[in-house]
Structure formats: structure tokens, C-alpha cells
Amino acid sequence: MVKKCLFPAAGYGTRFLPATKATPKEMLPILTKPLIQYGVEEALGAGIKTMAIITGRGKRAIEDHFDISYELEHQIQNTGKEPLLAEIRALISQCTFSYTRQVEMKGLGHAILTGETLIGQEPFAVLLADDLCTNSEDNVLSQLIKIYNTYQCSVVAIEEIPFEETHKYGVISGKIIDGNDDIYRVSDMVEKPQPKDAPSTMAIIGRYILTPDIFDILKDTKPGKGGEIQITDALKKQAKKGKVIAYKFKGKRFDCGSVDGFVEATNYFYKQTHKEQK
Ligand code: G1P
């Protein structure tokens, strides 16, 4: 059973400076909802109620967001504005949130390792809130959990990307298994390769199910690309033992870590809500 979701949220968000100077990038809103709230909603939609958030200096707004704001709520009580907080209130009442701080920024692998005390020895989900995903049926995390339940090993969500963009992602190679074009047994993975060195154009996006042995592997993983401890390098060690599945998820993903993706997501969600309101 996957019962916990880890949210690495300690990064600086330099691509959104100056907006992220005093505001965590995970709190940037698509319409009226911060990115991390979409992530928590996705986890809850996948049946996960325990949220483990890896924060860092200057990220307190995330904790405040998933808490009651007595003064504000008292002020808007019995006014037309009260319903604006209904969604977040419902979310808070259904989930528990725990936090730990990543004191030094040593990469995504290091952030995940920092979460060991919150996760313990059980399989868990990892959700990178700046990859905003949406699907009309099962959400992407639910899809990954189904794959995990079948194969009982780590699972990464993948998507085909243009050849010239491999340097932005972890890229996998693998073989289709069980006659399903969407499911691969991973044989190799490389963090942000140049196109000429990329083993394929199948890129990992920010959704993972990890088995807890990843923590010990991460403790032994040396800094890789960019001098950082990479989750891709740790996963590669599991992959060499046939213990990683890559799954071409159904749905749409927006790279909200880039201004272009952020604007695209904003337009998409605006059109969606606009349609619903008509
Ligand atoms: C991280 C991972 C990378 C993955 C990407 C998905 O990179 O290191 O393997 O493809 O997330 O968004 P980042 O975008 O944090 O640099």
C-alpha cells in the first residue's frame, strides 16, 4: 500500500525571480490555487492522506497554507467570500502534513533522503509540484500506484519529449513488457544528457513511486550531474536489478518550473473553469 507522498519543496525557484525572492515557488498560483495544492489534491485523489513536505529556509508560507487562518476566516465568516476557502479547508481536514527541512541544497536525491524520517520503511510516492499534471479520469499518481501494485518495485512516470530537450530531464531506456506499449522495464537511466548521449527520448516527469531501499542506495550515491545527489543515479542502481518500471502516463503535464509551461497551464486551467461556468 502506498500511504505517504513526499513533496520535495526546498528549491530556490530561480527561474521565477524576483517572484520567488520571498515566496516559495510551490506557492505560485495557477489561477487562484498554488502549485503545491494541486499536488496535494492529486495525492489525495490517489488515496494518500499523509503528506510529507521537504522544505527549506523561506518556505514557511507552505506550512501556513495547509493550516487554519483564524483571523482571516473569522473576518470572512458568513460573507460571500467564505466559499473561497471551502476547498482548502476540506483538504486540510482530510490530510496530515509533516515537514522537515533540507538544510543544504544538495539535489533532488538528497531532498528525498531527507524525507526518510517522515516516510520510514514503506513504499511511497514522490510528487514534484512544478510538474502540474491533469487527466480527466485516474490522476497520474493513481495510475502509478496501480502499476506499483502489479509490479511491486519502483515506478517512474515518463513522457516522450523532443530530441533537443533531453538535457532537461532524466532519460530512460528499457523494454516494453507484458505486451503493453506504455509499460517498460528500465535498463538504464541518465540525468539530463545532451541529445547525442541520450539513450532515448523518454523523459522522467515529476511523479515516482519508490521502494524504501532507495534510502540506503541514496546514502551511497555520489554527487552526479551538476554536483548534486541525483535520484536518477540511485534509481539506476535499482534498474540494473530489474526493479524499475517506467510508465507512459495518460494525461497532460505542464512544466510549471518554466515560464512558458506556467503560462500554458494558466491558460489551460482558465479555459477549463471558464467552460464549466458557462
Ligand atoms: C528533476 C529530475 C529529473 C526529472 C525532472 C522532472 O529535475 O532530476 O530527472 O526528469 O525533475 O521534472 P529538475 O526539473 O528538478 O531539474
CATH assignment, 4-277: 3.90.550.10
Would you state the torsion angle of the CA atoms of residues 142, 147, 153, 154, taken in this order, to the nearest 10 degrees?
A: -50
Whole-number pLDDT of residue 238:
98
Q: How many angstroms does the Cα of residue 96 sit away from the middle of ligand 1?
A: 26
Ligand 1 within 6 A of CB of 39 = no
Whole-number pLDDT of residue 173:
96
Pocket test for ligand 1, best of 140, 160, 204, 244 (most atoms within 8 A of CB): 204
Cα gap 101→118, rounded to integer Å: 11
Domain boundaries, the chain: 4-277
Binned average pLDDT, 10 residues per bin, the chain of 278 residues: 96 92 95 97 98 93 93 90 90 96 93 97 98 96 98 98 96 94 96 96 98 98 96 97 98 96 97 76
Atom of ligand 1 nearest to the CA of 255: 12
Q: How many angstroms does the Cα of residue 128 sit away from the middle of ligand 1?
A: 8
Ligand 1 within 6 A of CB of 127 = no
Whole-number pLDDT of residue 277:
64
> Global pTM?
0.95
Q: How many angstroms does the Cα of residue 78 sit away from the middle of ligand 1?
A: 44
Instruction: Find the angle CA(62)-CA(64)-CA(67) to the nearest 5 degrees.
Output: 115
Whole-number pLDDT of residue 275:
73
Cα gap 66→82, rounded to integer Å: 17
Whole-number pLDDT of residue 252:
97
Ligand 1 within 6 A of CB of 109 = no
Atom of ligand 1 nearest to the CA of 131: 12
Collect all residues with Cβ–Cβ distance below 8 Å to 149 and sequence separation of at least 6. Answer: none
Cα gap 266→102, rounded to integer Å: 29
Atom of ligand 1 nearest to the CA of 203: 10
196 secondary structure, DSSP code: G
pLDDT digits (tens, 9 = 90+) for 165-192: 999 999 999 999 999 899 999 999 999 9
Which residue's C-alpha comes closest to atom 11 of ligand 1? 206
Which residue's C-alpha comes closest to atom 9 of ligand 1? 170
Distances (CA, A) of 248 to 4, 153, 160, 180, 241: 22, 16, 8, 10, 21
Collect all residues with Cβ–Cβ distance below 8 Å to 138 and sequence separation of at least 6. Answer: 146, 250
Backbone phi, psi, residue 60, to 5°: -60, -25
Ligand 1 within 6 A of CB of 203 = yes
C-alpha cell at 225: 550531474
Q: Contact, 7 vs 115, CB < 8 A?
A: no
Measure the N-to-C terminal CA separation of the chain; round to a whole number of Å: 40
Radius of gyration of the chain (CA): 19
For residue 189, the cross-strand partners are 172
Give the up-direction half-sphere exposure of residue 229: CA atoms within 13 A in the CB hemisphere.
19
